[in-house]
Chain A
Amino acid sequence: MIEAIFSSGFFQRAILAGSFLALACGLLGVFLVLRKDAMISHGLSHVAFAGVALGLVLNFLPVVISLIICVIGSLFILKLKEQAKLHGDTAIGILSSSGMALGILLASLKRNFGVELITYLFGDILAITPAEVWLSIGLALLVVVSIIIHYHQLVFMTFDRESALVSGVKVRKLDKLLIILTSITVVLGIRIVGLLLVSALTVIPAASALQLSRNFKSTLILSSLFSLLSILSGIFLAYVFNLPASATIVFLSVFIFLVSLGLRRAG
């Protein structure tokens, strides 16, 4: 039976897309959590909803449209934070509710795409197409390579923003880079765990890794491993027991978090 599962095309596609997404989420999540920006992926997933709804109304590539809307929304959040004298969570709150409202409005214009919309809300990794797999791999690689290239600057500004600024690190440009990478990751995660649960992938593995690590590199490695473990085993269990993959993945990552918490307390 296991051999049959692994040889099926849609399962292979799910595993491939899931692995790359896991890597992107695991790495990016550590920076977001330590910058106290954990809720930004939650906010951006609501903005992405407007993009998905627009794509469905126009009947044109919902994932791509949602990516464009999400990147624009993320830069707007950054602008609001800088110029409207608002805390980050307030700016996220304004944008996420606006995105959700726009999505609902657009969805009401066309009444017959309820089922399709639900696949974006709750994810459907086993229905992912070969084109979406390639898009996921490409975008996830973009996230991972960007983090590797700017690794030291990102660690510096996350740890001590003021000193990084004085040292000539282009902090504001890297703020933009991080928020754009978050938008990409959120949109990637939509097909796998859905809009409603995508933020779990950027927050929970990083929070679990933080329970056990003593340095930054090991935090990134652990976070990516936890993310990979929950996504791959989640897809497998969901397939075998006919469960929703998104919920299974999120529950597994919460389980890993609880085990990490227990290990830290015991250690």
Chain B
Amino acid sequence: MNQKQEEIVRVEEVSFFYEDFPAVKDVNLSIYRGDFLAIIGPNGSGKTTLLKIIVGLLKPQKGRVYLFGQALEEFSDWHKVGYIQQKATHFDPIFPISVEEVIACSLRSSQKVGRRAKDQSKEKIEKILKLVGLEKEIKKPITKLSGGQQQRVLIARALATEPEILLLDEPTTGVDYMTQESFYDLLGQLNQEHQLTIVLVTHDYGIVNKHVNKVACLNQKLIYHGEHSEFCQSAVVQELLSGGHHLVSHRH
């Protein structure tokens, strides 16, 4: 089988309701190894809900999700899945935790206790921080870093368990344009050079479109899922724009 064709996530006929309000309706979606998929759509279109369903934080009332070919309820290899939630950098400002500890707690939660594991994790943390350009900040409290640096720490934490897929929910909310660009460049590099499958929920398609190769457009229902190159010419974009929805943020 071609490596590109290996299905990592399969969403089958999934619906989710908050009380009686439908957030996601009858969604079918497949994500393949090596994809850099942007999930876009207007506010309240169910993007975050869909992502939370995929990582098992929400249980759909209808439909099923498969990760690496296994039904979500039976899936246990969570080290293969990296996840960065929305507003992830809105930390409790009094929380005393260093960059090293942020990564170590994730890495060592899935490891056995012992001196060897401790030494190995230290080496690994140093290596990952180098990859995201933060090796000098290892002992600093995370709350003392800039928004962009904090996001890189969270990427490093997600990468520590060597995931095969990374799912991010609007990771650059509240960060300036330049920092966002360098953040998405890093994601592009991870996708291209490390073959990491990336799923990114965003309301700002403009800034990510040079990196992604697939697009899923959601408005409760999945209204487009396909190649990025075909998306811009599709009727869906014209329809959304004519409906007054913004897919690109205004920048000053």
- Nearest CB of chain A from residue B92's CB, rounded to whole Å: 7
Residues of chain B contacted by A217 (CB below 8 angstroms): 101
B:171-200 near A, CB below 8 Å: none
Residues of chain A contacted by B101 (CB below 8 angstroms): 155, 215-217
Whether a CB of chain B sits under 8 angstroms from the CB of A87 is no
| Known interface pairs A152-B104, A216-B96; A166-B76 also in contact (CB < 8 Å) | no
CB < 8 Å A-B pair total:
78
A:191-233 near B, CB below 8 Å: 210, 213-219
Pick from A165, A168, A169, A218: contact of B96, CB below 8 A.
Answer: A218
Whether the Cβ atoms of B109 and A164 lie closer than 8 Å is yes
Whether the Cβ atoms of A163 and B78 lie closer than 8 Å is no
A207: nearest chain-B partner, CB-CB:
B94
A150: nearest chain-B partner, CB-CB:
B109
Whether a CB of chain B sits under 8 angstroms from the CB of A61 is no
| Known interface pairs A34-B92, A155-B105; A165-B57 also in contact (CB < 8 Å) | yes
Whether the Cβ atoms of B97 and A163 lie closer than 8 Å is no
| Known interface pairs A152-B109, A155-B97, A217-B101; A168-B85 also in contact (CB < 8 Å) | no
Residues of chain A contacted by B207 (CB below 8 angstroms): none
Whether a CB of chain B sits under 8 angstroms from the CB of A160 is yes
Bound: A159/B154 CA distance, A: 12
A36: nearest chain-B partner, CB-CB:
B92
Secondary structure call for the A interface = helix
Residues of chain A contacted by B57 (CB below 8 angstroms): 162, 165-166
Whether the Cβ atoms of A167 and B113 lie closer than 8 Å is no
B104: nearest chain-A partner, CB-CB:
A152
Q: How many residues of B contact A (CB 8 A)?
A: 34
Whether the Cβ atoms of B95 and A168 lie closer than 8 Å is no
Whether a CB of chain B sits under 8 angstroms from the CB of A4 is no
Pick from B96, B104, B158, B161: contact of A213, CB below 8 A.
Answer: B96
B86: nearest chain-A partner, CB-CB:
A162
Whether a CB of chain B sits under 8 angstroms from the CB of A98 is no
Whether the Cβ atoms of B97 and A159 lie closer than 8 Å is yes
- Nearest CB of chain B from residue A43's CB, rounded to whole Å: 22
A:114-161 near B, CB below 8 Å: 149, 152-153, 155-156, 159-160
- Nearest CB of chain B from residue A222's CB, rounded to whole Å: 10
Whether the Cβ atoms of B96 and A167 lie closer than 8 Å is no
Whether the Cβ atoms of B96 and A163 lie closer than 8 Å is no
| Known interface pairs A214-B96, A215-B96; A159-B79 also in contact (CB < 8 Å) | no
| Known interface pairs A153-B109, A166-B55, A166-B57; A215-B97 also in contact (CB < 8 Å) | yes
- Nearest CB of chain A from residue B128's CB, rounded to whole Å: 15
| Known interface pairs A156-B105, A163-B106; A168-B76 also in contact (CB < 8 Å) | yes
Residues of chain A contacted by B97 (CB below 8 angstroms): 155, 159, 215-216
Contact with A along B70-100 (1 / 0, CB 8 A): 0000001011010111001001101111101
The 7 closest A-B pairs by CB, nearest first: A168-B78, A215-B98, A156-B105, A152-B108, A155-B105, A166-B83, A213-B96
Q: Which residues of A contact B (CB under 8 A)?
A: 34, 149, 152-153, 155-156, 159-160, 162-169, 210, 213-219
Q: Which residues of B contact A (CB under 8 A)?
A: 55-57, 76, 78-79, 81, 83-85, 88, 91-92, 94-98, 100-102, 104-110, 113, 139, 141, 157-158, 161
Given contacts A163-B83, A165-B56, A210-B96, 8 further A-B contacts (CB under 8 A): A34-B95, A159-B95, A163-B85, A163-B158, A166-B81, A167-B83, A168-B76, A214-B141
